[in-house]
Each structure stands twice: as structure tokens, then as C-alpha cells.
């Protein structure tokens, strides 16, 4: 009986230690997460985020700014929890990605707008585009529709009504224009090979193009449609109320960032929207 009692005590002690250990782990795990991983495009998003890193570090955060050079990977990484937020896309693209890929992403704030531009190495005015010219446009649905609407506004084509229009929705093409659909990041690289290209602002800036001076046709930044093309801070749904996301959002919508954007991009290539 004595031996049995000792064994019982030992087992009880081991169980108690195990419970204490589990309790300690839970307590440690419930502490505030002070690491922020944010995915960005190199220009202008990283340039903007770099301005707030010191401010977040002063609040005790470790900030990891991760560059992506395409439009697909940042949302995949966000959905899979590899990063806490991303800042590279506009509202229309985010909505389209959620619908087509079954993701559950949202955004906490709209930070800036980059008016889309058309560029050419052969003409200096979009009205000079010749019959049979080839124009390169983004191949993702939201930006492709955006590019075609810009060309319609310039008088080159006419389109059917609809949200995500494609070249198949062109109802009038008097100049017999041809369209080359490419990944958005590739567009600056083919500018020498086509008659014109419609290029997203971030890739134009990254390629050293000046949208304000070199674009032969630019979106109307004040148009109602521009609302859906505001670049946003995206997060997984349900994470909006995390303190680190609130602090990140606050930092990106501060007067400091507004002033930085207005001074850095005083030519209107990047426009704060908060």
C-alpha cells in the first residue's frame, strides 16, 4: 500500500507539472504579437511603407517589409498567413481576386491612387496611333478593363457596357488595333516592341517612366470610377481589429505619409486618398 501511495503521489505531481506547463504556454502565447510582416510592390508602396517603419519600431514592433514583383503572390501569401498585410493593389483587383480565387481578404484603408497611363516610343499623342497598331494591355481582368476604358476615353475604340470588359467586348475598332494581353509587370519591358502600352503606375515608376510627362493618355483622377482603383492596405477578414493592424493602418494614414506622398510625387503620379 505504501508503494502504491508513493506512485500515486508521483503521478499526481507529474500531472500537476504538466498542467502548469500547459498553463505557462497558453499565457505566453496570449501575449501581444509585436511582429508585422507586410508585402509590398517596390514602387511606390515600399517607398511609402519605409517611412513608417521607425514609428512602428518605436511602439515595440519588429517590421518585415517583403517585396513582391507580381500581382498574384502577395494575396496568396496573405491568405496563407505568411504575411499580416499587403499594400500593392487597388479595390477592384482585390474584389476580383476574392471572387475568382475564393479568398477571404478585405482592406482597412485606401491609401493612394495611381492614375493609369498609356505610353509609346513611336508617337507623342494618342491621336497619332496609326491603323493596325499593336497596343499592349494588362491581362488581369480588372486592369485589362481599366486599360480598355482608358483607350475608349481617348477615342480609339468603343466598348460594350459591363464591368470586366475584354477585347472581345470592343464594338468599334475603326483603326483595326491589335491588343497584346500581358502580365502587368511585363508591360514596360515590351514598350520597344509595340506601338503603345497601357501601364500601371507602380510599374511605370519602377521602370523609370514619368507618368506626368511621358504618358500620352492618362486616367481622370477625379472620375467616379477612380474610387475603385484606390490602392489599399489589405488583410485577412477577421484580422482588422488586431492591434498591430490598427497601428499599421494608423501609421499609413497619418499626416506624415500624406505629406510624403504629396512631396515625393508632386507631379500627381501618386495621389493620397485619405
Read off the DSSP letter of residue 265: T
C-alpha Rg value of the chain to the nearest Å: 25
| Nine cell digits for residue 27 | 499565457
Asked if 150 and 217 count as a contact pair (C-beta separation under 8 A), the reply is yes
What pTM was estimated for this model as a whole?
0.86
Whether domain 117-219 has CATH 3.40.50.140: no
Q: What is the pLDDT of residue 212?
A: 87
Q: What is the pLDDT of residue 29?
A: 39
Query: What residues does CATH 3.40.190.10 cover in the chain?
Result: 35-115+227-272, 117-219
* pLDDT tens digit sequence for 176-194: 999 999 999 999 999 999 9
Q: What is the pLDDT of residue 105?
A: 98
| Nine cell digits for residue 264 | 515625393
Q: What is the pLDDT of residue 225?
A: 79
Read off the DSSP letter of residue 172: E
Read off the DSSP letter of residue 33: P
Question: 35-115+227-272: CATH homologous superfamily?
Answer: Periplasmic binding protein-like II (3.40.190.10)
Identify the segments of the chain with pLDDT beneath 70: 1-30
Burial class (CB in 10 A: 0-12, 13-18, 19+), 105: buried
CA gap 48, 57 in Å, rounded: 16
Amino acid at each position: 500500500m505504501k508503494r502504491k501511495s508513493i506512485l500515486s503521489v508521483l503521478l499526481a505531481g507529474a500531472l500537476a507539472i504538466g498542467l502548469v506547463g500547459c498553463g505557462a504556454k497558453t499565457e505566453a502565447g496570449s501575449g501581444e504579437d509585436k511582429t508585422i510582416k507586410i508585402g509590398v510592390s517596390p514602387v511606390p508602396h515600399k517607398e511609402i511603407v519605409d517611412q513608417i517603419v521607425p514609428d512602428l519600431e518605436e511602439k515595440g514592433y519588429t517590421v518585415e517589409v517583403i517585396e513582391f514583383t507580381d500581382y498574384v503572390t502577395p494575396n496568396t501569401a496573405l491568405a496563407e498567413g505568411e504575411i499580416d498585410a499587403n499594400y500593392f493593389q487597388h479595390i477592384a483587383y482585390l474584389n476580383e481576386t476574392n471572387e475568382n480565387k475564393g479568398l477571404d481578404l478585405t482592406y482597412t484603408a485606401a491609401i493612394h491612387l495611381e492614375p493609369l497611363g498609356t505610353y509609346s516610343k513611336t508617337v507623342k499623342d494618342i491621336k497619332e496611333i496609326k491603323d493596325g497598331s499593336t497596343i499592349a494591355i494588362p491581362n488581369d481582368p480588372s486592369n485589362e478593363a481599366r486599360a480598355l476604358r482608358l483607350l475608349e476615353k481617348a477615342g480609339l475604340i468603343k466598348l460594350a457596357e459591363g464591368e470586366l470588359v475584354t477585347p472581345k467586348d470592343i464594338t468599334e475598332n475603326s483603326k483595326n488595333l491589335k491588343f497584346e494581353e500581358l502580365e502587368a509587370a511585363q508591360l514596360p519591358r515590351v514598350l520597344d516592341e509595340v506601338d503603345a502600352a497601357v501601364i500601371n503606375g507602380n510599374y511605370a515608376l519602377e521602370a523609370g517612366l514619368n507618368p506626368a510627362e511621358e504618358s500620352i493618355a492618362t486616367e481622370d483622377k477625379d472620375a467616379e470610377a477612380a474610387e475603385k482603383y484606390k490602392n489599399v492596405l489589405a488583410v485577412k477578414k477577421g484580422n482588422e481589429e488586431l492591434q498591430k493592424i490598427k497601428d499599421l493602418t494608423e501609421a499609413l494614414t497619418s499626416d506624415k505619409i500624406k505629406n510624403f506622398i504629396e512631396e515625393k510625387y508632386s507631379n500627381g503620379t501618386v495621389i493620397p486618398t485619405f
